[in-house]
Amino acid sequence: MSTTKELAGRTALVTGSTSGIGRASAIALAELGAEVVITGRDAERGTQVVKEIEAAGGHARFVAADLTDPEQITALTERAGDVDILVNNAGRSWFGPSADLDVATYDAMFASNVRSAYLLTAALAPAMAARGNGSVINIDSMAGSVGLAGGAAYSASKAAMSAMTRAWAAEFSPAGVRVNAVAPGPVYSDGASVEVIETLAATTLLGRGAQPEEIADVIAFLSTDRAKYVTGATIAVDGGRTAI
C-alpha cells in the first residue's frame, strides 16, 4: 500500500470495478487511503476485489448493481452514502457493420455507457457541490475521437462522456467539484480480444497496448488535490494515438 494517504477520509465509488480498468482504479484509490465502493453485477468478483484491497490494508465494500436499471442506480447511490470521488467507468462495447447492430443492443450500450453515468452524476454531484469539494472522472476512449470502422455507436457513446464532462464542469466546478475525463487507448483487460488490442496497439506511437494500472494511475491523480486546477479536461492515455 502507498504510504501517502492523500485520499484518507474520502469515499470513492468506482463503477464497473470488478475487473479491468475499474478494478485497477479501485485498488489505486484504496492505496491512497480512500474507502472504495466496488460495484458491478458479479458479486463473486466484487467480493474478491474487496478482499484484495483489505488484504493490502485498505478499505472497501461491494454493492451489487446493474447500471442499465435506473432503479438499481438509485439504490446504489443510497447505499453508497456521501461520495467524494465518482469514477464513471462501467460500460460495454460492440463493433461490427452498422447495419448489423440491432436496436436492443444499441439501447443497452447507451444505457450502460452514457445513461448510467448521467444518472449517477446527477444524483451525487449536487451533494459534492453542497460540500464544496469533489471529483468526477468519466471514462471516454480513443474511439471517441478516432474514426474506427464498425465502431460508430460505441464511439458515439464514449464521445458523449467528454461532452458531459465539459457541461458538468461548467455546472459544478464553480462550487468546487472538478469533472474530468480519461480517454484510454487499447488496454489489455478482461473481455478484450488480444488480437483486437494488438491490432490497435500497433497504431499507437508507443507501439503497444496499456495495462489497466497505467490508466488507473491517471484516474488516481485526477482524484487527488495534486490535480486541483484541472477540470473540464479530457486526458488522452492512448500511447500517442490521437496525437497523430
Identify the bridge partners of residue 137 per DSSP, sorted by sequence position.
Answer: 87, 180
CA-based end-to-end distance of the chain: 37
> Is 118 part of the annotated catalytic residue set?
no
Distances in Å between the Cα of 162 and the Cα atoms of 66, 119, 205 are 23, 16, 23
Q: Which residue type does 93 have?
A: S
Identify the bridge partners of residue 36 per DSSP, sorted by sequence position.
Answer: 12, 60
The one catalytic residue among 106, 118, 154, 229: 154
Burial of 129 (0-12, 13-18, 19+ CB in 10 A): middle
Q: Are 177 and 129 in contact (CB under 8 A)?
A: yes
Give 47's contacts (C-beta < 8 A, 6+ positions apart).
Answer: 62
Distance between CA atoms of residues 52 and 43, nearest Å: 14
Closest CA to 149 of 89, 112, 199: 199
User: What is the C-alpha radius of gyration for the chain, rounded to an integer number of angstroms?
Assistant: 17
Catalytic residues, by residue number, are: 154
